Amino acid sequence: GVSQFVEGLAPKYLHRGKGSHVWDVDGNEYIDFVMACHPLILGYADPDVNGAVAAQLELGSTFSMMNELEVDVTELLIDAVPCAEAARFGKNGADATTVGVRIARAVTGRDHIAYCGYHGWHDWYIANTDLNSGIPKFNQELAHSFNYNDLDSLERIFKANPGQVAIVILEPLTVLEPKGRFLHEVKRMAHHYGALLMFDEIITGFRFAFGGAQELTGVTPDLTSLAKAISNGIPLSAIVGKKEYLFALEKTFFSFTYGGDCIGLAAAKACIPKLEREKVPEHLWKVGAVLKDGFNRLA
């Protein structure tokens, strides 16, 4: 939130945005390097995404039965993301990471979780942070944190909880890059101990490469959570992965009023092909290098 921004220099309330620029309530103009906490991969008020959303509003925003957009966007995800054989949709990243954990628990019959990185606000994850007020204690005993680029820290979790770990979930790329074959070895270890592997690609999906960090690193997980860049800031998330695991959702529950909402799906149907067509991830690597090198020179 606001605590990340410098008091007296950063605006408190923004009024509008266009492209990479935003205007505050007093009319001051800024460049938004954060892009609304990362989803605006095409910038504020992208005409293609806005046009698709406006057209869908005229047809209806949500329905009592399925809509063909669910099929269309699923097919786009299957084509783009290496692990995707099927998809289900949510609204927030935390929807997708949490249902991934639920799928793994259903499939394996196990309760424990090994995690690395940030995965949202739900009990299973946030219990072991300092923001865990109001969360029953048993969650702390089921979730175990390991360190990036530290295979021993992951293996310790498996050895301390034999036959009990359902899933290894991690952000495949963050500020750190994998050393050597770290991600390959995480996958090998997870499967060796009978756990599923899930990449939380909420941030990396469509951004680090069109097919996400799994395309960039050549490591294909069992499940992947996607959000943010999928729809350029119109709320949508997805859980994708192996068909056999996604179909576990026939026996476990993942449903909510706006699960079939078509506004986010219409945005994604416009956004995803544009990311590929305009080679957006490649462009981000270029401008990212300019920013990074410039900061390093100043430092």
Q: Per-residue confidence of the chain (299 residues) as pLDDT tens digits?
A: 557 788 888 888 999 999 999 999 999 999 998 899 999 999 999 999 999 999 999 999 999 999 999 999 999 999 999 999 999 999 999 999 999 999 999 999 999 999 999 999 999 999 988 989 999 999 999 999 999 999 999 999 999 999 999 999 999 998 889 999 999 999 999 999 999 999 999 999 999 999 999 999 999 999 999 999 999 999 999 999 999 999 999 999 999 999 889 999 999 999 999 999 999 999 999 999 999 999 999 99
Task: Find the catalytic residue in 115, 125, 148, 228.
Answer: 228
Task: Find the catalytic residue in 118, 123, 258, 274.
Answer: 118
Q: Is 228 a catalytic residue?
A: yes
Structure tokens at 246: 């996604």
Task: Find the catalytic residue in 46, 200, 222, 261.
Answer: 200
Percent composition of the chain: helix, strand, coil (DSSP 3-state, to 5):
45, 15, 40
One-letter identity of residue 214:
Q
Structure tokens at 239: 């859980």
Q: Is 258 a catalytic residue?
A: no
pLDDT at 2: 53
pLDDT at 174: 87
Q: Is 118 a catalytic residue?
A: yes
Q: Which helix (H) or strand (E) holds 30?
A: strand 29-31
How far apart (Å, rounded) are the C-alpha atoms in residues 148 and 145? Answer: 10
pLDDT at 10: 86
H helices of 81-174, in order, are 93-108, 123-126, 138-142, 151-160
How far apart (Å, rounded) are the C-alpha atoms in residues 227 and 44? Answer: 17
Q: Which residues pair with 198 in a beta bridge?
A: 169, 223
